Structure 1
Amino acid sequence: MRQNKTALGAANFKVGKVDGDFGKLTEDAVRRFQKVYLPREVDGVAGLNTYRELDKVVN
Structure 2
Amino acid sequence: MAISETAEKNHDELFPNHQSTLKVTDPEMIEVFDNFAFDEVLSHGSLDSRRR
- TM-score (norm: length of structure 1): 0.32
User: Higher RCO, 1 or 2 (CA under 8 Å, sep at least 6)?
Assistant: 2
